[in-house]
Amino acid sequence: MKQHVVNWLISRHKDAIRHKSENPKAWSKLYVLSLEHTGETEFVEFCQEVIRAQPGNRHAWSFLQLVLRDDRQRCDLLAFAKQVVKLHPDDEAAWERLDAVREKQSDDFDLIAFCREILTQDASNVAALSRLVPTYKKLGKYAEVIENSYRLLRVDSNDPQTWCSLGDAYAARVKYDEAIQAYERALELKPNFVVALNNLGNIYHTRGQYHDAVDAYQKALKLNPEDVTPWVWLCLAYTEIGEHAKAEEAMKRVQKKLPIVAQMLAEEALDNGPAFTPAPAFAAVPSN
C-alpha cells in the first residue's frame, strides 16, 4: 500500500511539472520521493525527458547536475548535453547548458570537434561558429579564426564582436591594414566598443601613427576611465611625439594602480626613450 501511494505521489508531481515545468515545489518533492523510494535512475530519466523538450529548463538541469555529480556521471552529463544540442542545434539555451557542463569536463579540442560536427549538418550554425572563433583564438590558431569569422559574418555581418575577433586575428598575423578595417567596422556597429578602440590604438601605435593612437586611447578612456592600460600606451605615445608633460601626466595615472609599470615608464620611456613597450592585446605569431 505504501509503495502504491508513493508511486501515485511521484506520478502526480511529474504531471504537475509537465503542466508547469518551472514549478519548484513539485520538483523538490519529486526529487526527495524519487531518491528515497525509486532511486536516481528514474529521476534522471524524467529530468532528461523534460530537457529534451525544453533544453533551457533550469530546474531540470539543476537537479540533473545535483544527481550526476561523480566523475563517471559527469561524463554522462556531458554526453547528454551534447545530445540535447544535436536535438536543438539552433537553441542558444541548449548551447549555454553545454557551456556550463563542459566548463570543467572537456578541453578546447573537444569543443572544436563537437562544433565542427554540428557544422557538417548546418554549415551556418551561428552557435557553433560563435564558439569556434574564440576557441581558435585562445589556441592561437589565427588562420582558423579568420576563416570562421568570415563564415559567421556571412550569416550576420552586423556583429561587432566578430569583427573585433577578426581584427585581433589579422593583427596577430601582422596584417595591420586588414586589422584596422575590421576594428573600424566593429566601431561603426558599436561606437562604445572599448576593446576594439584599445586594440585599434595598439595597431596605430605599432605602425608609428601615434596621433591616431592617442585619439583611440582617449576615446577608450572616456568610455572606461578606470582602465589603466590606455594610460600606459598614452605615456609612450606622448613620449614619441614629444609631448613630455602629457606623458608625465599619463605616467602619474599609471602610478596610482600599477606602480611597478609606472617605475618602468619613468626609467625607460621618459628618461631614455621608448625602450619599454607593454604587450599589445594581440600577439604577433607566424602565419598558420
Identify the band that residue 269 occupies on the pLDDT scale cut at 50, 70 and 90. low
Comparing CA positions, the residue from 119, 113, 61 lying closest to residue 89 is 119
Q: Can you give the pLDDT at residue 92?
A: 96
Domain boundaries, the chain: 1-105, 192-288
The DSSP code for 88 is: S
Cα(183)–Cα(181) distance, rounded to whole angstroms?
A: 6
Q: Can you give the pLDDT at residue 114?
A: 97
Percent of the chain predicted with pLDDT > 70: 91
Cα(130)–Cα(147) distance, rounded to whole angstroms?
A: 12
**Average of pLDDT values for 39-52?**
91
Q: Using one digit for the tens of pLDDT, what is the confidence trace for 101-155?
A: 987 777 899 999 999 999 999 999 999 999 999 999 999 999 999 999 999 999 9
The DSSP code for 278 is: P
Identify the band that residue 71 occupies on the pLDDT scale cut at 50, 70 and 90. confident
**Average of pLDDT values for 205-220?**
96
Identify the band that residue 282 occupies on the pLDDT scale cut at 50, 70 and 90. low
167 or 263: which carries more pLDDT confidence? 167
Close Cβ partners of 42 (under 8 Å, ≥ 6 residues apart): 34
Cα(86)–Cα(253) distance, rounded to whole angstroms?
A: 51
For residues 178 and 170, is the Cβ–Cβ distance under 8 A?
A: yes
State yes or no: pLDDT of 274 exceeds 50. Answer: no
What's the chain's average pLDDT? 89
Residue linked to cell 602565419: 287
Identify the band that residue 5 occupies on the pLDDT scale cut at 50, 70 and 90. confident
Identify the band that residue 264 occupies on the pLDDT scale cut at 50, 70 and 90. confident
Cα(17)–Cα(87) distance, rounded to whole angstroms?
A: 21
State yes or no: pLDDT of 278 exceeds 80. Answer: no
**Average of pLDDT values for 26-43?**
86
99 or 273: which carries more pLDDT confidence? 99
**Average of pLDDT values for 267-273?**
56
Assigned CATH class of 1-105: mainly alpha
What is the CB-side half-sphere exposure of residue 179 using CA atoms within 13 A? Answer: 25
Cβ neighbourhood burial of 275 (10 Å; 0-12, 13-18, 19+)? exposed
174: left (phi over 0), alpha (psi -120 to 50) or beta: left
Q: Can you give the pLDDT at residue 2?
A: 65
For residues 209 and 235, is the Cβ–Cβ distance under 8 A?
A: no
Instruction: List the grid coordinates of 49.
Output: 525527458
Cα(129)–Cα(29) distance, rounded to whole angstroms?
A: 40
User: Does this model's pTM top 0.85?
Assistant: no
For residues 148 and 165, is the Cβ–Cβ distance under 8 A?
A: no
Euclidean distance between the first and final Cα of the chain, in Å?
Answer: 70
Q: Can you give the pLDDT at residue 106?
A: 72
Domains 1-105 and 192-288 share a fold: yes
State yes or no: pLDDT of 284 exceeds 60. Answer: no
**Average of pLDDT values for 228-235?**
92
**Average of pLDDT values for 31-52?**
89
Cβ count within 10 A of residue 24: 11
Q: Can you give the pLDDT at residue 276?
A: 47
State yes or no: pLDDT of 192 exceeds 90. Answer: yes
Instruction: List the grid coordinates of 245.
Output: 608633460
Cα(258)–Cα(239) distance, rounded to whole angstroms?
A: 19
Q: Can you give the pLDDT at residue 132?
A: 97
Residue linked to cell 589603466: 228
Q: Can you give the pLDDT at residue 285?
A: 47
Domain 192-288, CATH number (from 1.10.3720.10, 1.25.40.10, 2.70.150.10, 2.60.40.10): 1.25.40.10
Q: Can you give the pLDDT at residue 148?
A: 97
